[in-house]
A and B are shown apart, each in its own frame.
Chain A
Amino acid sequence: GNSVTQMEGPVTLSEEAFLTINCTYTATGYPSLFWYVQYPGEGLQLLLKATKADDKGSNKGFEATYRKETTSFHLEKGSVQVSDSAVYFCALTPGFQKLVFGTGTRLLVSP
């Protein structure tokens, strides 16, 4: 089956620290991979995506590389800001427009 495993949170960082949120997946076939972000009181928004192995998705300073050999799609940012505090969801789709989400990782950034 298809599933996504994310590191448990919360992840607590100081402003300007380096961020990594781990995500690994299990899938049949060749899925597309996504990171969504949920700011407090809001719905989810697509942050970045990668559709094939070795692709790097990037947006707003966040990056993630599709690693087929390790079945991973870790989210990174070089210098986090307080405004990055949110819940981050890793997700995959095996290609028929149904997303499978991980459980989410809460990020708390303090000044």
Chain B
Amino acid sequence: DADVTQTPRNRITKTGKRIMLECSQTKGHDRMYWYRQDPGLGLRLIYYSFDVKDINKGEISDGYSVSRQAQAKFSLSLESAIPNQTALYFCATSDRDRGAGELFFGEGSRLTVL
């Protein structure tokens, strides 16, 4: 089983709908991240959380919200989806003791907004 699990893996929705992408991890890491991948743009950070009570905006947080329900769970919500949020979304984790920059990624959630 994957250490970082994302659900759903694929989702097609319509403009204006609320969408939640979920991430759970069994690595025991305290830090979790949501990234968005677009062709030609690489990965951009949406939100990150260094522990359950710590939530921080990344470089492209507008239109998104997150919830850290437990150390192992970090959800990303799109309150009212729009077509330019069509992208591949990745959850990642890291361990504060392992060193900066060593992230472990899930397999991604492909979201299409029509």
**Residues of A bordering B, CB below 8 Å:** 32, 34, 41-46, 49, 51, 89, 91-93, 95-99, 101-104
Please give me the residue from chain B that is nearest to A97 by CB atom. Answer: B100
Minimum Cβ distance to chain B for residue A105 (Å): 10
The 11 sampled A-B contact pairs (Cβ below 8 Å) are: A32-B101, A41-B107, A43-B92, A43-B106, A43-B108, A44-B92, A44-B105, A89-B43, A97-B96, A98-B48, A101-B44
**Residues of B bordering A, CB below 8 Å:** 4, 31, 40-45, 48, 50, 58, 90, 92, 94, 96, 99-103, 105-108
Q: Flag if A101 contacts B43 (CB, 8 Å).
A: yes
Q: Flag if B31 contacts A97 (CB, 8 Å).
A: yes
Please give me the residue from chain A that is nearest to B91 by CB atom. Answer: A43
A99 CA to B100 CA in the complex, in Å? 8
Contacting residues, chain B, for A44 (C-beta < 8 A): 43, 90, 92, 103, 105
Please give me the residue from chain A that is nearest to B41 by CB atom. Answer: A103
Minimum Cβ distance to chain B for residue A38 (Å): 8
Q: Flag if A102 contacts B42 (CB, 8 Å).
A: yes
Q: Flag if B105 contacts A43 (CB, 8 Å).
A: yes
Give 3 closest A-B pairs by Cβ, nearest first.
A43-B105, A93-B101, A103-B42
Q: Flag if B40 contacts A103 (CB, 8 Å).
A: yes
Please give me the residue from chain B that is nearest to A94 by CB atom. Answer: B100
Minimum Cβ distance to chain B for residue A98 (Å): 6
**Contact pick for B42, options A41, A51, A101, CB 8 Å:** A101
Q: Flag if B42 contacts A49 (CB, 8 Å).
A: no
Q: Flag if A42 contacts B107 (CB, 8 Å).
A: yes
A32 CA to B102 CA in the complex, in Å? 10
